[in-house]
With several copies, the nearest count.
Chain A
Amino acid sequence: MKKIINDPANVAREALQGLGEAHADLLTVHFDPNFVTRAGGPDTGKVAVVSGGGSGHEPLAGGYVGEGILHAAVPGAVFTSPTPDQILDATKAADAGAGVVHLVLNYTGDILNFETAAELAEAEDIKVVPVILDDDVAVKDSTYTAGRRGVAGAIPWYKITGASAARGDDLDTVVEISRRVVANVRTMGMALTACTVPHSGEPSFVLEDDEMEIGIGVHGEPGRERVKLTSADEIVATLLGSVVEDLPFERGDKTLLFVNGMGGTPSVELYLAYHSARTYLAERGIEVARSLVGNYFTSLEMQGMSITLLKLDDELTELWDAPVHTPALRWGR
């Protein structure tokens, strides 16, 4: 295991400390239990948006706390959903009386822990509505699985939900818009290498030099299939093929195209893949109206990428464009 870390047990905590120190103007990191809130405190009169998940996905979720997007984030242990007490404290800290939306990625652990936290919050008279993201087309949503995973679609989902709250929408509206993103966003990922959970010290799986894993999740889980490494164009066609046919995205659709690195993928490869994806979509008459390229939802140091496509309407586009100011996403101010 090659990492720049101290005690493997303290990785998530020390990274959070760094996040808090580097961005003290934007956010405040709380410990025991761990959660991140905006530096300014609750957003008076507005719906609060809270998310979280395991650590090891940085900049998710703490890096998205700030104006125009999340009010609080709750990081669990590495690749482990947070516990209800963390989520409860974050929810209480974020709540401004207009209700709280829990943005939950669809994993058994996250669902259960957020469920418990929501019950506890309701008991303290905070209205909580969960919205669940399950954008990963690599997993078939059937009675034979825990349902699709929530993966990189989280970034536009956070952004647009947060922008709806920021413009003063009421709880029902924020939830409707958030669910509209879920209904219109699809993602699929792949990995060139596995990642190593610090306390485990062993890679999550082993790929030969000429192999890649298709349909990977964001926790170093093995994916849908292991195949020979091919060209960027072929990889993009595989990922986008599944994504496009799933919704389906159609000729004339206006989309946001998001090429996400898994943590160890350099910018040069992501932009190369983005170019390939643009070409693929142009051939099918699908318009790319907005773009995002970078390591935004990672799996530790894994090399690989996911491609996300979100079908945009005018309102979603406007909410995507609205100002945001966080460590990981910033524009308009």
Chain B
Amino acid sequence: MTCDAGTVVAAVRAAAAAAAEHKTELTRLDREIGDGDHGENLARGFTAVVAKLDASAPETPAAVLKLVATTLISTVGGASGPLYGTAFLRAATAIGDASELDGALVVTGLTAARDGVVARGKAEPGDKTMVDALTPAVQAAAAAADSGGDAAAVLSAAADAAAEGAEATTPLQARKGRASYLGERSIGHRDPGATSASLLLRAMADAAAGGGA
């Protein structure tokens, strides 16, 4: 299986479908400890991404990711817009002009994405943010690549770890973002951004796995 620009487009479209599908759930999570817009924010952004993809055919994986980044930045707003935007932008820069992604390049991209989010948002692991999904995702991705996984396998490992990471945000007290205003009352709720990160990764991994077919 190859992971070329077409596969990345398919993965992004799958991510968009996941954002639409889980809109209500993400908004509900955000209502509990935030302001109840996370699902709406992402759905708005990815709808715009799909419209852009329908109208253009970026030629490299990086070009696809850059288009996603700029579109999310200009349509999502809120905390998650610049953070996801930065993530996709840094990933695009990190993978350079490769026409296909192997496992190692996926790790490179994911690592840059996570680092970008941390650089912008200054959250540490355990602060109950999307970083708590992205950090284990990067670690699992690296392990999968080390044992020879291809792009899809690496993404899949990342998605599994992100899901666990998102799940593990429930007992945490938030220290970044709106949920931090709640102090101890943020405990017992899953972080919406960590949840969306895991859902997007899962959708992209599944699409990448089917992408060569």
Binding site for B on A (CB under 8 A): 33, 54, 76-85, 107-109, 112-113, 115-116, 138-140, 143-146, 149, 197, 199-200, 202, 204-205, 217, 219-222, 224
Contact = CB atoms under 8 A, between A and B. Distances in A.
Given A197-B36, A200-B27, 8 more contacts: A76-B77, A82-B77, A84-B74, A109-B82, A112-B82, A204-B35, A219-B178, A222-B33
A113 B82 CA distance: 6
Nearest to B31: A204
Given A146-B180, A219-B35, A222-B182, A108 B77 contact: no
B75 interface: yes
B125 interface: no
Nearest to A77: B77
A83 B77 CA distance: 5
A85 B75 CA distance: 9
B177 A108 contact: yes
A106 to B, nearest CB: 11
Contact of B40 (A77, A84, A143, A220): A77
Contacts of A145: 175, 180-181, 183
Interface residues of B, number: 34
B181 A109 contact: no
28 contacts: A77-B37, A77-B44, A77-B78, A81-B79, A83-B75, A83-B76, A83-B77, A85-B73, A107-B79, A107-B178, A108-B79, A108-B177, A113-B81, A113-B82, A116-B82, A140-B183, A144-B180, A145-B175, A145-B180, A146-B175, A146-B176, A146-B177, A146-B181, A200-B37, A204-B31, A217-B178, A219-B178, A222-B182
B34 interface: yes
A145 B176 CA distance: 6
Contacts of B76: 80, 83
A163 to B, nearest CB: 29
A220 B35 contact: yes
Contacts, number: 123
A202 B36 contact: yes
B38 to A, nearest CB: 9
Contacts of A221: 34-35, 178, 181-182
B149 interface: no
A84 B82 CA distance: 9
B201 to A, nearest CB: 22
A140 B183 CA distance: 9
B43 to A, nearest CB: 9
B83 A112 contact: yes
B123 to A, nearest CB: 9
